[in-house]
Each structure stands twice: as C-alpha cells, then as structure tokens.
C-alpha cells in the first residue's frame, strides 16, 4: 500500500491529513480502527509563538496557569517550558512543564504545580519560558505579592 500527501503549489505552512486503518476480525465480527495523522510542512516555514496569559492560581503550593499561542504558519513540535521563580533573595526555584505540540492558529492552556509554596512574605516574580525550536525563546511573567 502506498499513500502520498501533497499540498497545492504556492501554499506555505503546516497541513495535516488523516489515514484511518480498520481491521476486521475473521472469527468474529469485531473491528478496530486507528487514526494516523500525517503532517506536511510547505516552506517557507515561519515558527512564531507568544505567551498570551499567565497567572498564579495558588501560592501554597504554587500552581500556575499559562496560555501559549502559535502565531506562525507551522506546527510547533516538542515545545519545552520552564517555570522560574525569583524571590526577595534572588532565584528561588524552577520546574519544567511537559513537552507538547501546537498547531498553527491554536492556543494551549497549561497548568503546573510545584511541590512547595511561596510561604515567606515578599514579592516574587514568576516567569514561564518556552523554547519552540526557532532559535528564540518566548516568555511571560507575573508578580506575586505575599503579605
């Protein structure tokens, strides 16, 4: 079996199609299906992302919610995220977000929690930095005040 995917001439960006495979059992009328997504990127590819929302949902334990948008024309693969916290005495801690993919024109809300909280009074800077493989980083930040 041969399967070919092509995009019309003159287009650019990421496109996808699906191939559905169905298996029908011989002994019993049981079937199963699986969808295989195939992605094709037509150059020129312009990866671009932006952090469009960030908030500290809870402070003890620290829980953040962040929204990232794919503003380019290409699928972003294995986007890596890192939450960094700076406290009154300098850099306090950091933790990673699980990697993900993001299609063009789509946004994704991520929520992550640390095993610890911002318990001491002071001003904290919570930053989220994403690496989406375009040799640039995109970041957002929010200030949290603990009385």
83-129 confidence digits (pLDDT tens): 999 988 777 889 999 999 999 999 999 999 998 888 888 999 999 99
Question: What's the pLDDT at 46?
Answer: 84
* Segments making up each domain of the chain, as ranges: 1-45, 49-146
- Give the span between the Cα atoms of 77 and 50, in whole angstroms: 15
CB-facing half-sphere around the CA of 146: CA atoms within 13 A = 18
Summarize the confidence of residues 44-59 as an average pLDDT.
92
Per-residue pLDDT of 7-30, as tens digits, reads: 778 888 887 788 887 777 776 666
The residue behind tokens 């200030």 is 143
**Among 18-27, 38-47, 58-67, which is the least confidently predicted range?**
18-27
Percentage of the residues of the chain whose pLDDT score is greater than 70: 97
Residue with tokens 């996808």: 16
Which residue from 51, 107, 40, 104 is spatially nearest to 76, judged by alpha carbons?
A: 104
pLDDT category at 138 given cuts 50, 70, 90 is very high
pLDDT at 58 (0 to 100): 94
SS3 4: coil
Neighbours of 87 (CB within 10 A): 16
Q: Which residue has the tokens 């916290």?
A: 85
Q: Which range, of 17-31, 47-61, 97-111, 132-146, averages the lowest pLDDT? A: 17-31
Cross-strand partners of 95: 83
- What is the end-to-end Cα distance of the chain in Å, rounded? 66
Q: What is the DSSP letter of 45?
A: P
Homologous superfamily, domain 49-146: Immunoglobulins (2.60.40.10)
């Amino acid at each position: 079996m041969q399967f070919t995917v092509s995009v019309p001439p003159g287009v650019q960006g990421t496109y996808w199609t699906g191939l559905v495979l169905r298996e029908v059992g011989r002994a019993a009328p049981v079937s199963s299906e699986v969808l295989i997504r195939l992605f094709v990127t037509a150059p020129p590819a312009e990866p671009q992302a932006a952090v469009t929302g960030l908030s500290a949902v809870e402070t003890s334990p620290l829980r953040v919610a962040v929204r990232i948008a794919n503003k380019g024309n290409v699928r972003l693969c294995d986007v890596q995220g890192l939450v960094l916290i700076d406290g009154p005495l300098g850099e306090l801690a950091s933790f990673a977000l699980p990697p993900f993919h993001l299609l063009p024109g789509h946004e994704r809300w991520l929520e992550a929690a640390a095993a610890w909280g911002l318990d001491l009074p002071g001003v904290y800077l919570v930053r989220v930095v994403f690496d989406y493989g375009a040799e640039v980083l995109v970041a957002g930040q929010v200030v949290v005040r603990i009385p």
